[in-house]
Amino acid sequence: MQPGERRAQILEHAARLFGDRGYHETSISDIVASADVARGTFYLYFANKRRLFEELVDILFLRIRSCIQTVTTDPGDRSPRDQLVDNLVRVFALLCEEKHMLSILFRGAVGLDREADDKLRAFYAEVLGAIENSLTLGRTIGIVRPCDTHIAATVALGAIKEVLQTLLTSPPSRDPEQDIREYANAILDIFTRGVVMDGVSIP
Amino acid sequence: MQPGERRAQILEHAARLFGDRGYHETSISDIVASADVARGTFYLYFANKRRLFEELVDILFLRIRSCIQTVTTDPGDRSPRDQLVDNLVRVFALLCEEKHMLSILFRGAVGLDREADDKLRAFYAEVLGAIENSLTLGRTIGIVRPCDTHIAATVALGAIKEVLQTLLTSPPSRDPEQDIREYANAILDIFTRGVVMDGVSIP
Amino acid sequence: MQPGERRAQILEHAARLFGDRGYHETSISDIVASADVARGTFYLYFANKRRLFEELVDILFLRIRSCIQTVTTDPGDRSPRDQLVDNLVRVFALLCEEKHMLSILFRGAVGLDREADDKLRAFYAEVLGAIENSLTLGRTIGIVRPCDTHIAATVALGAIKEVLQTLLTSPPSRDPEQDIREYANAILDIFTRGVVMDGVSIP
Amino acid sequence: MQPGERRAQILEHAARLFGDRGYHETSISDIVASADVARGTFYLYFANKRRLFEELVDILFLRIRSCIQTVTTDPGDRSPRDQLVDNLVRVFALLCEEKHMLSILFRGAVGLDREADDKLRAFYAEVLGAIENSLTLGRTIGIVRPCDTHIAATVALGAIKEVLQTLLTSPPSRDPEQDIREYANAILDIFTRGVVMDGVSIP
DNA sequence: AATGAATGAGTCTTCATTCAT
DNA sequence: AATGAATGAAGACTCATTCAT
């Protein structure tokens, strides 16, 4: 067995279990039984249950980050909108493939304790910042209308999270890639143009 | 001591503790110590920890529901938009006043177990349905442009949840009522008109 | 309500519950709920659960004792054998009518604690003594052959207890009185004459 | 420490405690303290208190069964009576040596709950059946006189149980083996020939 | 590196008993 | 005499973590 393989093995099984049952409902016994290693072996690779979980969350954050590309406006680049859609599609695709991870993000890591909450908040703050930057850039180049970019970014983040949330329970699709792209486009469409009929002014 | 007061007392303290620390981090010992009642007294009023928690969630859902009024378009009524803003303001105000409850909603009840998840999902589905109905109504009266109302409703729900989420950590404001109204308006503004500059068309 | 009636009411309900479920499986809550009195009222009449139980056992012993008549050999009396049968019949009839009591005797009071065991043992010792006396009398008048009267009495007591034990689970009969008399006769028959064929000598 | 030794250690201490104090009066704390193992260790070997107890009862039943040999009448065998005495002597000797076990049988397992009662009843039914079979055999070969073999067996079983019961409190003898043999012979003597003087007929 | 038996602090829950009304 | 809300000691059981092998 390769060095590091044991570690990966435990991480993988733990991810599935945490995703399926949640943090508190998953015991070390469950994990070592699933990964087929001895109890003691677990503690050779991880300081404790909490750290293992943190590591999974860190890995998840890392992978999500790696999906997100800063939007550019260099001539010859894809349109900003397409770049945003691509970002969304990559994140959605990643999390669709490993729903455990998505579940850990939304169910396992929420409300665990102050520390986990802070970590989660920090991550979302980071994403929020990235969205806000995009919006500011949009304003600079005259695509985005004047608005509270912070709230706008919050709305966008919320929309993305909510759609991901629904993915958790949606049945597997025949052409997931196509679905994802449609979802991403729909979100962006509503977020950019709103839902109001053109030419109608709401008092 | 009034009849029912003990019950209320326990519910109140439990709400704060669950809100602050989460379900698993709060023991019966914590609750009875905080409420200053004997261990056995707790079980006089609640079958077990789980039921107490469920009751808190039920109360919360009830209160939120009571904030939401179906949007009407009768002549003489406030504009649909104002009615929506009012709904938002009422919900925000309610949850701002009792942040524990908000915290229970977002941190305590998430990922607790299958049953709690289902309850939560059902509640959100209900809210989603209400939003979708509003959008359909909007389409009927020609205010809402053709779009996937389900995704649009999802985006709206996500936006609301995300804003509420940020409320949890935002410091207490000097004029909360005013803040809330601004938040509600900003969300509705972005959701209805989008963030794109008027006249600009995104490819 | 007559004075003492409350007491009797509680005793009665407790007897049924103890008989049905046993001492440990019956809670004060069960008893007061069944007797339809308040918790506090219970402690007005009985020092504690243990004492209530003891009282029931005492009552039972008293009633059993009252069934047992010392065997006499005065001319004109019924035959000793008939007197013994009558004793048995009376005890059997008493306990058949109130199976709870029988159940308390055999299941509730056994192995409760040292004190209860002692009480039980004392009662059985008393019955054993009575049987032994009868045997001694029998020897005196030449009906009983030389044998270890203590062991003989033990055998008799065991036989009686065992038959009573089976009564606990036997279905209610159409003519219980007749059954009881037959049982009593059968026991006495075997105990007196044994099971060996007349004239056969066992090495 | 040998494998399985811990288990045996816990069983042994539990047997003594259950025997001395009874099931309900013995807590897991008592057992682990007596066996000098940690609280958790207990649950490594036994699912719960109830199961531990059941195991003890099962072991006891197994051992008792192994004492009992079916009576044979092959030429050259010991006499049926001697075989019966041998059976009794073996059972008595077994239970004399481990009075805790005997106590568990008579005090601990009685009236515990429906399940335990059924188990107990089943065991006694088995023993009763064996005795009845012996009696039927005796009738076949002409040693046993016509009588209700079921009641006769019940009497025999009751006698045996009662004698065992007294063993529980009897002081340790100088020559227990001899005592046991005498007891067994006395029981059998009374059971077979009865207590009535030869030639005397009871009306 | 790996094992898994052992640990014990901590959890929820029950229930006999008390006491102010 | 009667009530029933309140008590808190005590019980069974879980599980993350350790450590001798």
Confidence of residue C68 (pLDDT cuts 50, 70, 90): very high
- For residue A144, the cross-strand partners are B196
Nearest residue to F7 via alpha carbon and C1': B38
> Does position A172 have pLDDT exceeding 90, yes or no?
no
Nearest nt to the CA of C6 via C1' is F1
pLDDT at B165: 92
Please give the pLDDT value at position D111: 83
What type of residue sits at position D78? R
Distance CA A202, CA A199 (A): 10
Q: Mean pLDDT in chain D?
A: 92
Q: Name the nucleotide nearest D7; use CA and C1'.
A: E5
Candidates D25, D108, D143; nearest CB to C113: D25
Closest among A43, B150, B42, C135 to D196, alpha carbons compared: C135
Give the distance from residue C118's alpha carbon to the nearest chain D alpha carbon, in angstroms.
10
- pLDDT of C23: 95
* E10 C1' to D40 CA distance, Å: 12
Check pLDDT > 90 for residue B112.
Answer: no
Structure confidence at residue B80 as a pLDDT band (50, 70, 90): confident
Q: Is there a contact between C121 and D169 if contact means CB atoms under 8 Å apart?
A: yes
D110–C111 CB contact, under 8 Å: yes
Whether A192 has a pLDDT exceeding 70, the answer reads yes
Please check whether strand F approaches the CB of A33 to within 7 Å: no
Close Cβ partners of B45 (under 8 Å, ≥ 6 residues apart): B6, B7, B10
- The answer to whether B168 and A117 have CB atoms below 8 angstroms apart is no
Residue of B119, B141, B155 to mutate, interface with A, max A Cβ within 10 Å: B155
The answer to whether the CB atoms of A183 and B21 lie below 8 A apart is no
The residues with which D144 forms a beta bridge, in sequence order, are C196
B19-60 confidence digits (pLDDT tens): 999 999 999 999 999 999 999 999 999 999 999 999 999 999
pLDDT (tens digit, 9 = 90+) per residue, B17-29? 999 999 999 999 9
* Cβ distance of C151 and D186 shorter than 8 Å: yes
**Position D1 pLDDT exceeds 70:** no
- Residue D24: exposed, middle, or buried by beta-carbon count in 10 A (0-12, 13-18, 19+)? middle
Residue B128 Cβ < 7 Å to strand F: no
Choose among A142, A152, A158: nearest Cβ to B158.
A158
Rg (CA), chain D: 20
Residue labelled with tokens 């920890």: B49
Q: What percent of chain A has pLDDT over 70?
A: 97
Question: Residue C51 to residues C8, C11, C58, C101, C110: CA-CA distances in angstroms?
Answer: 14, 11, 10, 16, 16
Do B and A touch (≥3 CB pairs < 8 Å)? yes
Q: How far apart are CA A156 and CA A151, in angstroms?
A: 9
- Taking all atoms of strand E, which protein residues have CB closer than 7 Å? A 1, 3, 6, 37-41, 43-44; B 26-29, 39-40, 42-43, 48-50; C 27-29, 39-40, 42-43, 48-50; D 1, 6, 37-41, 43-44
Chain B hits for A189, Cβ within 8 Å: 147
Put simply, the answer to whether B162 touches A155 (Cβ < 8 Å) is yes
Nearest-5° Cα angle at A82, A79 to A83: 85
From A188, which residue of chain B is nearest by alpha-carbon distance? Answer: B194
CB pairs under 8 A between C and D: 164
Q: Where are the beta strands (DSSP E) in chain C?
A: none
> Is the pLDDT reported for residue D107 higher than 90?
no
DSSP assignment of A117-175, as one string? HHHHHHHHHHHHHHHHHHHHHHHHTT-BPSS-HHHHHHHHHHHHHHHHHHHHHSPPPSS
Listed in sequence order, the residues at least 6 apart from B70 whose beta carbon sits closer than 8 Å to its beta carbon are B130, B133
Give the residue-averaged pLDDT of A58-84. 92
Q: What is the reported pLDDT for C67?
A: 95
Minimal C-alpha gap between C2 and chain D (Å): 35
| pLDDT surpasses 90 at B74 | no
pLDDT (mean) for B77-95: 93
- pLDDT over 70 at D202, yes or no: no
Phi, psi dihedrals of residue D102, rounded to the nearest 5°: -60, -40
Task: Check B202 against A81: CB less than 8 A apart.
Answer: yes
> Once rounded to an integer, what is the mean pLDDT over residues C101-108?
91
Each residue's pLDDT tens digit, D112-126: 888 888 999 999 999
Burial C138-160 (b: 16+ CB within 10 A, else e): bbeeebbbebbbebbbbbbbbbb
Choosing among A120, A195, A201, which should be mutated to test the B contact, i.e. which has the most B CBs within 10 A? A195
- Closest alpha carbon to C1' of F14, residue: D40
**Percent helix, strand and coil across chain A, each to the nearest 5:** 70, 0, 30
For C188, which residue in chain D has the nearest alpha carbon? D194
Whether B41 sits with its Cβ under 7 A from any strand F atom: the answer reads yes
Nearest Cβ partner of A203 from B24, B81, B158?
A: B81
**3-state SS, residue C87:** helix
CB contact at 8 A, C106 and C193 = no
Q: Which domains occur in chain C, in start order? A: 1-46 (1.10.10.60), 48-193 (1.10.357.10)
pLDDT at residue B162 in the model: 96
Residue nearest to nucleotide F21 (CA to C1'): D1
Query: Residue C26 CA to E9 C1' — how many Å?
Result: 32
- Closest CA–CA distance from residue D156 to any residue of chain C (Å): 7
D160 to chain C, minimum CA–CA distance in Å? 7
Q: Model pTM?
A: 0.91
- Using only C-alpha atoms, chain C has a radius of gyration, in whole angstroms, of 20
> Are the C-beta atoms of residues A14 and A26 closer than 8 Å to each other?
yes
* β-sheet bridge partners, residue B144: A196
For residues C155-179, average pLDDT = 91
> Following DSSP, what letter does each residue of D144-195 receive, concatenated?
BPSS-HHHHHHHHHHHHHHHHHHHHHSPPPSSHHHHHHHHHHHHHHHHHH-S
Q: Cα-flanking dihedrals φ and ψ of residue B195, to 5°?
A: -110, 0
Backbone angles phi, psi at D196, to 5 degrees: -85, 140
Q: B200: which chain A residues are within 8 Å (Cβ-Cβ)?
A: 142-143
Better-predicted residue by pLDDT, C173 or C90: C90
